[in-house]
Amino acid sequence: MSKSESVFEMALEQLGDAAQRLNLNASTLRVLSHCERELTVALPVVMDDGRIEVFTGHRVQHSSARGPCKGGIRFHHDVSIDEVKALSMWMTWKCAVVNIPYGGAKGGITVDVTKLTKNEIRRLTRRYTVAMLPIIGSHSDIPAPDVNTSAETMGWIMDTVSMFRGSTVLDIVTGKSIELGGSLGRREATGRGVMFNALELLKRVDQAPSETSVSVQGFGNVGSVSADLLQKEGCRIVAVSDVSGAYYKEDGLPITDMIEYCKSSQNGLLDGFDAPGMTKISNTELLELDVDLLVPAALEKQITEKNADKIKAKFIVEGANGPVTPVAEKILLSKDKYVVPDILANSGGVVVSYFEWVQSIQSFFWDEDEVNRNLKRVIVNSFKSVWEMAEREKVDLRNAAMMIAVDRVARALDARGIFP
């Protein structure tokens, strides 16, 4: 893999920038540039027709300096160890910037879920869970949903661990269904966090939500909820997309109907959805639309040096992890755009994961208002710290967020010392 293709290189570059501004000592930077633990496993699965397929799975723990490792598991055909390493490092910074007591981890299986039946995915998930048993744990590494995984997947993981332990373990995963001790508000939490971040940014630049047009790339858990909640706050959602294409309507899309449609559509996609006045555009056109706010909520590396100078949106709020490459970000910043970085913008999910974990440990559950109120408090305060750091240090929002996060992790490392 060439350097420019590596997502982990991109994560290292962002760390290097923050380390330089923080004057971080070389030893600490060396430690933080490595992932603590990487586990790659072969996962044989009996397919419905009796054939045995073997899939590859990973779990990477980047840092446990500030607490147990935390992070989602994604099922995607592009999953690689390089990507999982980058995502695990971003989880470390994400948990640190919002100051929740976790380190960072991530997991993934290289699989095209559209080619498997539900039973096959369930067996694959259970096999992956058992393969990861030596390193996951309620107080060491707690998985959660990510791309193409959901509350249902978490239920299978929780059940598998419980079968092996001989008793029901609630705090081994977050993002569980409510029936299994999940938290109210967790499913919507990442999108709700995106919305809070967008509103905080708009407030700082004196722009009313009612005068803000938005395009959202991705209509999964993050994109759909972000679009829905931003619309409820008065924004005009002119375009959304998923792998079936992009959908455009100048005076605003019927987001509620689109979400409803996806509940029973093939693979949960928008394919076949129709509404008066709506047209289909390409994913490239969606990214380059003349809107105020762009929420990339799909995968990494969507805005690169190839399309950065065509992006017209003034505000970019990263619903996905790593959608803007460092070179692209420099181009955007040179045109006075604002990029709310992933580690802050999409942190709502892991913040409510933390609330869920606390509730699971205590077996004492909060109402939805309490969850949402606490989420808002964490996001609003974190945004404020990042904004103030950016102004004080005269840096962009990613650098500011990274400086806060890396500094917190470095201090924890320093306080603990290096074993032995």
Q: Point out the residue whose Cβ comes nearest to ligand GLU.
A: 72
Per rule CB under 6 A, is residue 45 in the interface with ligand GLU?
no
Which pair of structure tokens corresponds to residue 414? 């320093």
| Residue 144 lies near ligand GLU (rule: CB under 6 A) | yes
Which of positions 307-346 make contact with ligand GLU (CB under 6 A)? 321, 346
Q: Applying CB under 6 A, which part among 38-46, 70-78, 156-164, 286-294 lies near ligand GLU?
A: 70-78
Q: Smallest distance from the beta carbon of 347 to ligand GLU, in angstroms?
A: 7
Closest approach of ligand GLU to the CB of residue 308, in Å: 23
DSSP single-letter state for residue 251? T
Cβ proximity to ligand GLU: between 246 and 339 the closer is 339
Q: Give the number of other CB atoms < 10 A from CB of residue 32.
A: 23
Q: How far is the CB of 212 from ligand GLU (least distance, A)?
A: 25
The answer to whether residue 301 is catalytic is: no
333 phi/psi in degrees, rounded to 5: -70, -35
Residues 10, 100, 317, 350: which binds ligand GLU (CB under 6 A)? 350
Shorter beta-carbon distance to ligand GLU: residue 68 or 209? 68
Helix axes 397-416, 7-22, angle to 10 degrees: 80
Looking at 70, 106, 314, 337, which residue is catalytic?
A: 106
Closer CB to ligand GLU, 136 or 253, in the complex: 136
Regarding 349 and contact with ligand GLU (CB under 6 A), the answer is yes
213-217 and 236-242 as β-strands: parallel, antiparallel, unpaired?
parallel
> What whole-number distance in Å separates Cα of residue 414 and Cα of residue 24?
11
Pairing of the two strands 141-145 and 69-76 = parallel
Minimum CB–partner distance for residue 309 and ligand GLU (Å): 28
Regarding 104 and contact with ligand GLU (CB under 6 A), the answer is no
Is residue 236 within 8 Å of 263, Cβ to Cβ?
no
Angstrom CA distances, 330 to 119, 389, 402, 406, stand at 45, 19, 16, 21
How do strand 279-281 and strand 245-248 relate by DSSP bridges? antiparallel
C-alpha 212/C-alpha 252 separation (Å) is: 11
Q: Is 61 in the site for ligand GLU (CB under 6 A)?
A: no
68 sits near ligand GLU (criterion: CB under 6 A): no
70 binds ligand GLU (CB under 6 A): yes
238: enclosing H helix or E strand? strand 236-242
Tokens of 350: 């892991």
Judged by CB under 6 A, the stretch of 64-72, 176-184, 298-306, 374-382 that binds ligand GLU is 64-72
Choice between 183 and 231, CB closer to ligand GLU: 183
C-beta of 86 vs 404, nearer to ligand GLU: 86
Cα–Cα dist 37/61, whole Å: 5
Q: Is 13 exposed, middle or buried (0-12, 13-18, 19+ CB in 10 A)?
A: middle
Residue 15 or 344: the one with the smaller Cβ distance to ligand GLU is 344
Binding to ligand GLU in span 149-188, by CB under 6 A: 174-175
Nearest distance, CB of residue 26 and ligand GLU, angstroms: 29
What is the rounded distance in angstroms from the CA atom of residue 76 to the CA atom of residue 84? Answer: 11
Q: Which is nearer to ligand GLU, 144 or 316 (CB)?
A: 144
Integer Cα distance of 80 and 384 in angstroms: 35
Q: How far is the CB of 219 from ligand GLU (least distance, A)?
A: 17
Strand ranges in 29-102 using DSSP code E only, listed in sequence order: 37-46, 52-63, 69-76
Min. distance of Cβ 281 from ligand GLU in angstroms? 28
**Two tokens, residue 114:** 């559209």
As a whole number of angstroms, the distance between CA 219 and CA 244 comes to 10
Binding residue for ligand GLU, selected from 83, 120, 146, 228, defined by CB under 6 A: 146
Query: Which parts of this chain interact with ligand GLU (CB under 6 A)?
Result: 70-72, 94, 144, 146, 174-175, 321, 346, 349-350, 353
Catalytic residues, which ones?
106
